[in-house]
Amino acid sequence: MALQLRPNCEYCDKDLPPSVTDAWICSYECTFCTDCVENKLHNVCPNCGGGFERRPIRPATERRPGVCVTKQLPSDKRVHLKYSIEDVAAHSARLRDVPPQER
């Protein structure tokens, strides 16, 4: 099963097409841009509390049958935070000094 490749940053709503290297995901595929991960979330997912890894790109060229961005389409559903900015800031502040592998 392929990653959803959500189309936007859940915090600032920046567009994150499947080819950008500016997208980060947690293990639940919550998706954020580099600026939000580094400067607002401090590597703390506001939804699950985990850390982030760079989201891989989906190849544009079909190098194997059926395996490319046009054959396995990314999600077009925009996702937004369900928590207030204040709640997210407090959540990140509580967990930012705990290494992701220990959260």
Separation of alpha carbons 100 and 96, rounded Å = 8
Residue that is written with structure tokens 């935070």 in the block: 81
Q: How far apart are CA 62 and CA 53, in angstroms?
A: 25
Is the Cα torsion angle 58, 64, 67, 71 positive or negative in sign?
positive
Model pLDDT for residues 4-25, shown as the tens digit of each residue:
999 999 999 999 999 999 999 9
Q: Give the CA diameter of the chain.
A: 47
All structural domains of the chain with their residue ranges: 23-95
pLDDT averaged over the chain?
Answer: 96
From CA 12, how far away is CA 88, in angstroms rounded?
A: 13
Q: 31 burial class (0-12, 13-18, 19+ CB within 10 angstroms)? A: buried
Q: What pLDDT, on a 0 to 100 scale, did the predictor assign at position 49?
A: 97
Smallest Cα–Cα separation from 80: which of 5, 3, 6, 1? 6
Q: What is residue 84's three-state secondary structure? A: coil
User: Residue 12: its pLDDT value, please?
Assistant: 98
